[in-house]
Copies of this chain bind each other. A is one copy, B any other.
Amino acid sequence: MAGETTINPAAARRTKAPAKEKAPDPNGGARQILNAAAWLLRHRGYEATTTRAIAERVGIKAGSIYHHFPSKDAIVERVINEGVLVVGKAVTAALEALPKKATPRDRLQAAIKAHLLSSLEHSDYTSASIRAFAFLPPEMRKTCRVERRRYEDIWQQLMQDAARAGYIPADVSPDAARLMLLGAVNWAGEWYRPGRIPIDRIAADFARIAFGARRT
């Protein structure tokens, strides 16, 4: 996360200004549309996220969507990008909440847990980013890859620190370790069901398998 979400001072000051595409009112029409699209992208995919399906979830007519967004793809792109930003903030916050003495391994386990919580429990946006990305229109995939890469940089740093501290075998590429771990957490949405294995436990097991026991 290079910078925070672009904080627009004017938007922060606004009281009842019309919710433009950039800063939707938390309960306004634009936000409801984004929420509906996020749910559909997560559970049905890109093509099935039709303007009519979005409108039905919000309780409006399909044509009314275009008073808030210029196109379906503008909505989709917002959802996908917000999903990456949300999980990035969750992971960053989890890392900052750790005590100073936390090891690189502790940090990785915290990142795994935060990523899983965001994508499995907290955010349709994050899950939509993960699951729907592969089949987005090629140009949009290219655009959204920018924010995605920024998020992956967090993991590259975490993995580098872990490798230096000896948590990864010297003859194993940190890239392979990063891709293996990101694959494991991104794929969790395909098998995770609430109420079975707690996310805490999944994160602990993943970290244990990849990095061994905690050093006490």
In the complex the two chains form, what is the Cα distance from A180 to B202 in whole Å? 9
Determine whether A66 belongs to the interface, using a CB cutoff of 8 Å to chain B. Answer: no
CB-defined A-B contacts under 8 Å, sample of 20:
A45-B134, A46-B47, A47-B47, A168-B209, A169-B213, A172-B208, A172-B209, A173-B205, A176-B206, A177-B205, A177-B209, A179-B191, A180-B184, A181-B184, A183-B184, A183-B185, A183-B188, A183-B191, A187-B187, A210-B210
Contact A187 B176, beta carbon cutoff 8 Å:
no
A92: interface (CB < 8 Å): no
Which of A's residues lie within 8 Å of B, judged by CB?
Answer: 44-48, 131, 133-135, 168-169, 171-173, 175-177, 179-188, 190-191, 197, 201-202, 205-206, 208-210, 212-213
Whether B135 lies near A171 (C-beta < 8 A) is: no
Q: How far is the CB of A89 from chain B (nearest CB, A)?
A: 22
Copies of this protein chain in the complex: 2
Residues of B within 8 A of A168 (CB): 209
CB within 8 A of A187: which of B177, B186, B208, B212? B186
Are A208 and B48 in contact (CB-based, < 8 A)? no
Chain B nearest CB from A146 CB (Å) reads 16
Closest to A213 in B: B169
Cα(A13)–Cα(B191), bound, Å: 42
CB-CB nearest in chain B for A181: B184
Contacts of A184 in B (CB 8 A): 179-181, 183-184, 187
Measured CA separation A89–B184 after assembly (Å): 24
